[in-house]
Amino acid sequence: MQDRFGLAQGSVAMQRYLQRHIEGGLPPPPGNGPLWHNALVIPAYREPSATLQHLMRLPRGIERTLVILVLNRPDADPDPLVNASLRVAVGELASTSEQPNKPVIHILNKHADLYVHDMEDSGGTIPAAQGVGLARKTGCDIALKWMAEGAISGEWIHSTDADALPPQDYFQQLERCNQQAVAAVYPFRHVRGDEQNRTEATALYELRLHHYVLGLEYAGSPYAYHTLGSCLAVKASAYAQVRGFPKRAGGEDFYLLNKLAKLGPVAKLTGNCIELQSRQSQRVPFGTGPAVEKITRAKHPTELPLFYHPLCFVALRALLATVPDLQHVDAKGLSDLLGRRGLERSLARACSDAIEAMGLEAALTHCRRQGKSPEQFLRQFHQWFDGFRSLKFIHAIRDAGWPQQSLHQLVTLQPRFWSGASNTQREVESLRLAVRRHWGWQS
């Protein structure tokens, strides 16, 4: 018998997660029976009171939606009032009937409700090293717990940020995805902010994200998708199997998807984009906010070496095409195999050195033992050579003599993942539009 999470009733993975890995002290659902279908988790740290007006614009799903807003403050921030204005604004919202020892549910609009989980109330600050990862995990754990107890009827947990505006077909996009998918990534675009230089810097950084995914696509990597916590949905059963969001102050979205992709397909959704704000942010140690700040400070942003050299992805493509041969060929012959794939000698050598340094020989021994057929061998290889090792490989090729390039330098290099580049802002916008069209994203 299958339950609504897609797992057998009494699933070991689900029960183990709820018993051993869920965050402690989480509230019970406010009532009996399904109250919502959709669950949307949003971490909030240093967000203005206007965040609530933003959330009130949340689009309608097929059934009612619960937004779980997780207020948090890392222990590196000594200011106890950073979330005060948002708390006050929440207190002014109408709420459903309050019950003793039950969470208060506020009304956002005709089709969405809000539950605010204030981590400062339950435990004060959170460790700075765990940051947004812990906040996302706490919110998703609440959604999972309430699903298991019957308050939420859907099987997906959505994740986004306080500054993200989902499109009108946000929930419908997910209904069109592969039924076997364990996670889904949404289309997105950064929209104009109050400061022109920050808007331009954010657009350039967005291109950097796109270029990396386009490169992985070109290489034939199964990990060719964006990894933004603001544009993500996870199937509840898979979330439990990989033990939830990693407790990290940044990169939690990358590592979660890296684990999920080993369970099943990660759907790349098409359609209207989630709109992300081009704004100043220092809430995480790395990622979009700090990267945009660095670009903003540059005198000539389009001359910054932001993009991986295209030959890094040529090397990755040749490596992945050669993998089936490694089921029966000694790893010491890899450089010669890559040369037969057309790689220039020095690049083939760098490619071979990079993956051998990661422990290729031991990995191949495991893959051959666990994967007797060509299909099984390839699957085992990609379980090992995952999204993290793919990025590590790209960095190794970069450091071996194929350095990062500026936007206008890409026009002189092959292969091109888009149709030309220059150092004009108009070209940045045209490239962003071309990339969205390539993936079937709409503005």
Both tokens of residue 415?
A: 């292969």
Predicted pLDDT at 15: 87
Collect all residues with Cβ–Cβ distance below 8 Å to 138 and sequence separation of at least 6. Answer: 23, 26, 70, 72, 117, 119
Handedness of CA 320, 323, 325, 329 (dihedral sign): positive
Asked whether 199 and 192 are in contact (CB, 8 A), the reply is yes
Residue 91 CB neighbour total at 10 angstroms: 11
Pairing of strands 183-185, 156-159: unpaired
Predicted pLDDT at 419: 65
Using only C-alpha atoms, the chain has a radius of gyration, in whole angstroms, of 23
Peptide bond into 167 cis (omega under 30): no
List per-residue pLDDT tens for the chain, 443 residues long: 334 444 443 378 888 999 999 999 999 999 878 899 999 999 999 999 999 999 999 999 889 999 999 999 999 999 999 999 999 999 999 998 777 888 999 999 999 999 999 999 877 899 999 999 999 999 999 999 999 999 999 999 999 999 999 999 999 999 889 999 999 999 999 998 878 898 999 999 999 999 999 999 999 999 999 999 999 999 999 999 999 999 999 999 999 999 999 999 999 999 999 999 886 655 444 567 788 888 989 889 989 999 999 999 999 999 999 999 999 988 888 999 999 999 999 999 999 999 999 999 999 999 999 999 999 999 999 999 999 999 999 999 999 999 999 998 988 899 999 864 444 556 899 999 999 999 999 98
| 12-300, CATH topology level | Spore Coat Polysaccharide Biosynthesis Protein SpsA; Chain A (3.90.550)
Predicted pLDDT at 4: 44
CA distance 21 to 3: 21
Q: Which residue has the tokens 């040749």?
A: 318
Asked whether 73 and 82 are in contact (CB, 8 A), the reply is yes
CA distance 211 to 229: 19
Question: Which of 70, 192, 216, 177 is CA-nearest to residue 132?
Answer: 70
Predicted pLDDT at 423: 45
Predicted pLDDT at 1: 32
Phi-psi region of 248 (alpha: psi -120 to 50; beta: other; left: phi over 0): beta
Q: The whole model's pTM is what?
A: 0.93
- Domain range annotation of the chain: 12-300, 310-399
Collect all residues with Cβ–Cβ distance below 8 Å to 78 and sequence separation of at least 6. Answer: none
Question: Which of 361, 279, 300 is CA-nearest to residue 326?
Answer: 361
Work out the angle at residue 440's Cα, subtended by the Cα atoms of residues 304 and 268, and round it to the nearest 5 degrees. 85
